[in-house]
Amino acid sequence: MNTNRPVALVDDGELLDDVLKLAAAAGCQVERLPDATAVRQHWNTAPLLILDASGVRECVELRLPRRGSVLVVTATQPSEELWRDAVAVGARHVVELPGGEEWLVSALADAAEAPAGSSGRVLSVLGGRGGAGASVFAASVGLTVLRNGDGALLIDCDPLGGGLDLVLGAETEQGLRWPELRLRAGRVSASSLHSALPGRTHGNGRLTLLSGAREGVGPEPDAVAAVLEAGSRAGETVICDLSREFGDAARAALERSDLAVIVVPAEVRACVSAKLVADRVREHGITARLVVRGPAPGGLRAGEVANVVGIPLLTSMRPEPALARSLDQGNFRPKPRGPLAGAARATLKALAAVPARDLRAAS
C-alpha cells in the first residue's frame, strides 16, 4: 500500500461521492483536498490526482506544471475548455462517469497497489540478427530481477518467436498466453495480470510472463501498451522481447521503453544487420545500447562491434556454458556467476541510470 495516497479535488458533491465509492470498490483510499493550494503540496508526490472541471481550472489558474497521473472526471460530455485545462496540467484522460467507471476503478486499483515511489522501468531487447540470443537475454534479465527479490514482467512481443514460455521451460504451466488475453477498457491492473498469467516467485520476488503461443494471434499494439503500463505503474521492471520485424506491437513497446538493448553475436555479418536494427531503434528516439555475445570466431572485439553498429557498448559476455542443452531440457537458469547473469546485472544497472520516461503520464 502507498503511504502516499491519491488525492482528489472534486467540488461537485455527487461526482465526489461517485469517485469515493469507486475508490472504496478498488480498495484505494483517496484523500479529499479543499482547494488547489492544498493540491500544490501534493503535486510532486501524489501517485494519482483526480480533478473535476472546477478543480482542474483552479490548478491551471495556480499555474501548476504538467505532471503524469492526473485524471479528470466529469459527469457530462467534456467541453473543449475542459480538455484544454486537462492537457495544461498533463492529464491524458477525461473520464466520463458513469460510463468510465470500470476504467476508473482499474486506475484506482493500480494506484492502491503501486509501491510509493517511481514507476518501473521498461527495457526492450532486440536481436542484431536472427538467433542472436535476444529471447534468452530477455529471460535472463527477468530471472535476475526475480533473484534480486523484485518484480518483473516479461512480455513476449515476437509473434513468430514460438513462445517465450519455451525459453523458461514454462510451456506446460497454466495461465493465459497472448491469444487468450482479452483486455477490456484498454486498461488492465497488475494484480489481474499476476493472477491470470504464469509466473514464478522467489522470496519477495515475482516474475510474471506474458508469452505468445504456438497458434493464434500475436499481441495487438494497444494490448502491449496496456500490459506494459500496468507493470510499470506497479513498480515492476518490464522487459519486452521484440521481434526484429518492427511490427506494430514491437513499436508500441519500443515507444514506451526507457532503454533498448540490442544483442549482437561478435560476427561481421551480425554487426552489419545489427546496424540496420540500431538505425530503426534510433528513429524512435530511445536510448540504445549494445550487448555483444561471444564467441568471436574471427577475433572481433566488442569495441569494434560497437563501432560498426554505431551505438555504445553496454557489456559483452562469453557464451553461456551448456545453454543449448538446458534450453532443450526446459530447465534454463542463468548461472548466478555466469556470463548471462553478469550481463543482465549490468543491463539492470544501466536501465536504472537512464532518465525515466514519464509512463505515468499515459494513465
Q: Least CB distance from residue 135 to Mg ion, whole Å? A: 3
Q: How far is CA 15 from CA 8, 98, 101, 126, in A?
A: 11, 10, 12, 46
Q: Least CB distance from residue 45 to ligand ADP, whole Å? A: 40
Q: Least CB distance from residue 246 to ligand ADP, whole Å? A: 14
Q: Would you count residue 336 as binding ligand ADP (CB under 6 A)? A: no
Site for ligand ADP (CB under 6 A): how many residues? 15
Q: Given strand 151-157, what is the order of strands in its sheet?
A: 199-202, 205-210, 151-157, 237-242, 122-127, 259-265, 288-293, 313-317
Residue selected from 134, 188, 252, 348 as contacting ligand ADP according to rule CB under 6 A: 134
Q: Judge contact between 133 and 263, C-beta under 8 A.
A: yes
Q: How far is CA 163 from CA 158, 178, 198, 217, in A?
A: 8, 9, 13, 12
| Residue 90 interacts with, from ligand ADP, Mg ion, none (CB under 5-8 Å by kind) | none
Residue selected from 120, 133, 142, 159 as contacting ligand ADP according to rule CB under 6 A: 133
| Residue 216 interacts with, from ligand ADP, Mg ion, none (CB under 5-8 Å by kind) | none
Q: How, if at all, do strands 313-317 and 49-51 pair?
A: unpaired
Q: Least CB distance from residue 215 to ligand ADP, whole Å? A: 19
Q: Least CB distance from residue 353 to ligand ADP, whole Å? A: 23
Cα 259 from Cα 299, distance rounded (Å)? 28
**Closest CB to ligand ADP belongs to which residue?**
133
Residue selected from 27, 65, 130, 203 as contacting ligand ADP according to rule CB under 6 A: 130
Q: Least CB distance from residue 265 to ligand ADP, whole Å? A: 8
Choices 15-23, 177-185, 213-221, 322-330; region in contact with ligand ADP by CB under 6 A = 322-330
CB nearer to ligand ADP: give 59 or 306.
306
Residues from 274 through 293 that contact ligand ADP (CB under 6 A): 293
Q: How far is CA 214 from CA 160, 194, 209, 294, in A?
A: 9, 22, 15, 30
Q: Would you count residue 264 as binding ligand ADP (CB under 6 A)? A: no
**Backbone phi and psi for residue 118, each to the nearest 5 degrees, phi listed first:** -90, 165
Choices 14-22, 77-85, 124-132, 276-284; region in contact with ligand ADP by CB under 6 A = 124-132
Residue window 301-320: x/- pattern of binding to ligand ADP, with contact defined by CB under 6 A: ------------------xx
Residue selected from 55, 90, 127, 163 as contacting ligand ADP according to rule CB under 6 A: 127
Q: Would you count residue 327 as binding ligand ADP (CB under 6 A)? A: yes
List residues near ligand ADP by CB under 6 A. 127, 130-136, 293, 319-320, 323-324, 327, 340
